[in-house]
Amino acid sequence: MAGRLLAIGECMVELMQAEGGLMRKSFAGDTFNTAYYARQYLPSDWSVDYLSAVGTDTISDEMLAFMEGHGVGTAHVARIAGRSPGLYMIHLKDGERSFSYWRSASAAKLLAHDGDRLRAAIEASDIIVFSGITLAILPAEDVETLLSELRRAKAVGKRVVFDPNIRPRLWDDMDRMRATVTEGARASTLVMPSLDDETTHFGDASLEATIARYAALGVAEQVVKDGGEGATLVFGGKRSHVPSASVEKIVDTTSAGDSFNGAFLARLAAGAAPQEAARFAADVAAAVIQHHGALVAKDKLPQG
Ligand SMILES: Nc1ncnc2c1ncn2[C@@H]1O[C@H](COP(=O)(O)OP(=O)(O)O)[C@@H](O)[C@H]1O
Ligand SMILES: O=C(O)C(=O)C[C@H](O)[C@H](O)COP(=O)(O)O
């Protein structure tokens, strides 16, 4: 059955390591990465759109052309004169990534300023994807605007997908982070957290504690990712575990979680059982971490 997926968040200019000490430029951002990978594997009668804000400068034009060139619609990306996209750089240590950010005045911070625009885009969609990064970059009043539209989407039976993607540097106050992520989860039907983040920042003593905390917020579906240990699924009240796929050499873990999310949602939307979708998503994430950057070219990914 045809449908529409909408991802909401910030895409940035990405700088990654390349040959001979050079840096290579691309574009990425967690929710956009999820949209990119979902597009690779969704049936062709599904559309994928991004909701964000960019500037009116050349790099913003390039970013939108990049999105369109990869099959992600940009009709819901606002253009804001005088603002520019943010930028981030990937640092690697034995394949594990960390980031530097230049994003404090990015256009994307204004993505939820217009509630009517948000509502129209969400109403037109079947699956809506957002993250803790989406919430972290917004002014407090815009967090509320976004969450109230997502609650409305949940109430009418849409699939609302939330990856807490906790980035401590984007939050000035960790209590506010915990409260906001909690409200984000409450507005969702499916949470896709990384266990590592949850134990570190919510103090969960175990996987069981993470699952119980999100279930208590009324989130019916969960996929808790745990790096090389695989992922635990909660669907239809039943729990199951899907192992990760084997990887010869980890080059860059950037977007392991986002690529998993995108491939998983695509397979689920196409009618696969959650375990089957997660096994495929693990294969996709395993391919992604064997290459530099968040977005790996189609010919290097498992064929869908
Ligand atoms: N070392 C690894 N070996 C194989 N697969 C991995 C590895 N690390 C991550 N993955 C895959 O990527 C998924 C997401 O990884 P995780 O590290 O939990 O997410 P995030 O990047 O959001 O922190 C895992 O569920 C797994 O399928
Ligand atoms: O940090 C941000 O704000 C970004 O969006 C940059 C990265 O592209 C994602 O963070 C990658 O996400 P992971 O899948 O968790 O590796």
Strand partners, 8: 51
* Token pair 């990384």: residue: 194
Q: Looking at residue 57, what is its pLDDT? A: 98
- Model confidence band, residue 163 (pLDDT cutoffs 50, 70, 90): very high
* Spatial distance between the Cα atoms of 232 and 225, rounded to a whole number of angstroms: 7
Strand boundaries in the chain, DSSP class E: 3-8, 12-17, 23-28, 46-54, 73-79, 87-93, 96-102, 127-131, 159-163, 190-191, 221-225, 231-235, 238-242
3-300, superfamily in CATH?
Ribokinase (3.40.1190.20)
pLDDT digits (tens, 9 = 90+) for 125-135: 999 999 999 99
- The answer, yes or no, to whether residue 183 has pLDDT greater than 90, is yes
Mean pLDDT of 162-181: 98
* Spatial distance between the Cα atoms of 52 and 32, rounded to a whole number of angstroms: 9
- The answer, yes or no, to whether residue 113 has pLDDT greater than 90, is yes
- Please state the ipTM of this predicted complex: 0.97
* Spatial distance between the Cα atoms of 227 and 243, rounded to a whole number of angstroms: 10
- Model confidence band, residue 1 (pLDDT cutoffs 50, 70, 90): confident
Helices (H), 42-173: 58-69, 115-123, 132-136, 140-155
Distance from the alpha carbon of residue 294 to the mean position of ligand 1, in angstroms: 13
Strand boundaries in 45-86, DSSP class E: 46-54, 73-79
Q: Looking at residue 192, what is its pLDDT? A: 99
- Model confidence band, residue 80 (pLDDT cutoffs 50, 70, 90): very high
- b/e string for 178-210 if b means 16 or more Cβ within 10 A? bebbebbbbbbbbbbbbbebbbebbebeebeeb
Q: Looking at residue 2, what is its pLDDT? A: 94
Q: Looking at residue 206, what is its pLDDT? A: 97
Q: Looking at residue 304, what is its pLDDT? A: 80
Domain ranges of the chain: 3-300
Average pLDDT, the chain: 97
Q: Is 202 in the pocket of ligand 2 (CB under 6 A)?
A: no
Q: Is 85 in the pocket of ligand 2 (CB under 6 A)?
A: no
Q: Is 258 a catalytic residue?
A: yes
- Model confidence band, residue 31 (pLDDT cutoffs 50, 70, 90): very high
pLDDT digits (tens, 9 = 90+) for 244-271: 999 999 999 999 999 999 999 999 999 9
Strand partners, 25: 15
pLDDT digits (tens, 9 = 90+) for 213-249: 999 999 999 999 999 999 999 999 999 999 999 999 9
* Spatial distance between the Cα atoms of 146 and 113, rounded to a whole number of angstroms: 9
Distance from the alpha carbon of residue 204 to the mean position of ligand 1, in angstroms: 19
**C-alpha separations of 243 from 64, 91, 238, 240 in Å:** 36, 27, 17, 10
Closest CA to 268 of 243, 239, 233: 233
* Spatial distance between the Cα atoms of 64 and 96, rounded to a whole number of angstroms: 29
From 142, 258, 283, 299, active-site residue? 258
